[in-house]
Amino acid sequence: MIDWVSGVFKDVESEMRGLQWGRLYEQYHSKSYDPAKVPPRSSGFMATRTSRTVAASFEYILGGLQDSKLLDVRVFDEATKKSVYAKQTKAAEASSTSNCPLCAVGHAANKSKIWS
């Protein structure tokens, strides 16, 4: 199993410790991989991931870069999220509708509630 992992990933890093390699090996070992096409750690593909998703990045690669839900990608930084949320909340207050899109279209008492 260690030979298989080393053959797939050129630069084996400490982030690989503790992964469920037995499960990953059973699921993916029959596929052939070209180590030259596997994104290296230094490429930035995995360098910017949080520690929770680094492990999932290996499974994403082994799965042929198909299941992007494994990456837990965040497109917006915290400042952008807060700015957009404030703008949406202000617009909701002006139109007397809820800043929750589900509440705003519903028929419940929360239809005009502004959530913090």
Mean pLDDT by 10 residues, the chain (116 residues): 80 72 88 75 51 67 75 75 90 90 81 87
- Asked if residue 41 lies in contact with residue 11, where contact means CB atoms within 8 angstroms, the answer is yes
Q: How far is CA 46 from CA 41, 50, 59, 66, 112, in A?
A: 6, 9, 12, 16, 42
pLDDT of residue 69: 72
pLDDT of residue 31: 87
**pTM assigned to the model:** 0.47
Rounded-to-integer distance, Cα 34 and Cα 92, Å: 52
Number of H helices, E strands in the chain: 5, 0
Helices marked H in 63-97? 78-94
